[in-house]
Amino acid sequence: MTSVLPQSAAALVDPQGRTIRYLRISVTDRCDLRCRYCMAEQMTFLPRAKLLSLDEIAIIAERFIARGVTKIRLSGGEPLVRRDVGDLVRRLGRHVGAGLDELTMTTNATRLDQHAQEMVDAGIRRINVSLDSLDAERFRYITRHGDLDQVLRGIAAAKAAGLAVKINMVALAGLNEAEIPAMLRWCVEEGHDLSLIETMPLGAIDEDRTDRFVPLTRVLADLQTQFALHRDAHRTGGPARYWRVEGTATKLGLISPLTANFCDGCNRVRLTTEGKLYLCLGHDDQVDLKAALRDGGIDGLDAAIDLGLTRKPARHDFRIGRDAAPAVARHMSVTGG
């Protein structure tokens, strides 16, 4: 199918007056790891017949670009386990600088050494890599299967290829909380940014997230005793707040949807690998873009996107605590983190 980009259409503005400029795409719900806060050990993944084809993902993404989206993040699950992801990266990469300001990816880096160069060639400049520990045993425990050396090789390959790397670390009480200052020091040495994330109540896992929840207010107070941190005005329209580590190139991000709610400036929507457009990570409101595209072509797709926008909730409603059910039943890997 040909690109849908030339046919521009109305900008994406929701009932709260927020303009949508950021699309996250979960290209697969599958993953080669099983991080304890993200997935249960036994997961049921979508049958392949239900997935959007790569062409359909690209058509939907290009329609969002035509309607004003300037940033796309490929995520999952683990995006690099989808066999044809390189083709998607190349196709969407053609729009970087021509509608799209940024194409990026969040990955666990287990296969990054094989993909880093093709990402750079396609126009990707920055990526996020999940790394919850620099201790090989703890890393294996948290991910259930992960090999730290393999991930570090992937990160090194990304750096060598010229990709800027932001490390994502979910703060977990009794697991990696004490390691956070060391992780920040490592990021400073390696020239990476670091984003710390509060564990969010998304999907059933084998543990009670309350046991592992760390409010990032506590982490920040601890880091401020060891680092000179200066507030940075940088905003991405998400729940992150940023600090600069004095005398370094490293930016520290705190993603705290539980202890702070920044939904007022939300500029993003999320496409699942099954073709559903979720309007908020923490709500079940969605529209089926796969059906709309298959039944109604680009006009059907536009109508479904417009309908979806009218359903974008004003704010999420995350709570964490004893007996609090997950805010939504689907895992982060379905919606695309």
Between the CA of residue 73 and those of 138, 142, 170, 178, what are the distances in Å? 28, 24, 19, 30
Q: Is 144 left (phi over 0), alpha (psi -120 to 50) or beta?
A: left
Q: Is 170 exposed, middle or buried (0-12, 13-18, 19+ CB in 10 A)?
A: buried
38 lines the binding site for ligand SAM (CB under 6 A): yes
In angstroms and rounded to an integer, the radius of gyration of the C-alpha atoms of the chain is 19
Q: Is 47 exposed, middle or buried (0-12, 13-18, 19+ CB in 10 A)?
A: exposed
Query: What residues contact residue 98 under an 8 Å CB cut-off, 6+ apart?
Result: none
CA distance 37 to 280: 20
Q: How far is the CB of 297 from ligand SF4 (least distance, A)?
A: 32
Q: How far is the CB of 201 from ligand SF4 (least distance, A)?
A: 15
Looking at residue 127, its amino acid is: I
Question: Which of 79, 93 has the CB closer to ligand SF4?
Answer: 79
202 lines the binding site for ligand SAM (CB under 6 A): yes
133 lines the binding site for ligand SAM (CB under 6 A): no
Question: Which of 168, 267 has the CB closer to ligand SF4?
Answer: 168
Going by their DSSP bridges, the two strands 71-75 and 102-107 should be labelled as parallel
Q: Is 130 annotated as a binding residue?
A: yes
What b/e string do you get for 108-120 counting C-beta neighbours within 10 Å, with b at 16 or more? bbbbbbebbeebb
**Of these, 197, 252, 293, 328, which contacts ligand SAM (CB under 6 A)?**
197
Residue 12 contacts which entry, ligand SF4, ligand SAM, none (Cβ below 5-8 A, type-dependent)? none
Q: Is 321 annotated as a binding residue?
A: no
Q: How far is the CB of 202 from ligand SF4 (least distance, A)?
A: 10
- Report the site for ligand SF4 in 167-186 (rule: CB under 6 A): none
35 lines the binding site for ligand SF4 (CB under 6 A): yes
With CB atoms as reference, the residue minimizing the distance to ligand SAM is 337
Binding residues for GTP are: 24, 73, 106, 166, 268-270
- Could you list the residues that contact ligand SF4 (CB under 6 A)? 31, 33-35, 38-39, 76-78, 108, 130, 333
- Could you list the residues that contact ligand SAM (CB under 6 A)? 31, 37-38, 75-78, 106-108, 130, 168, 170, 197, 199-200, 202, 332-333, 337
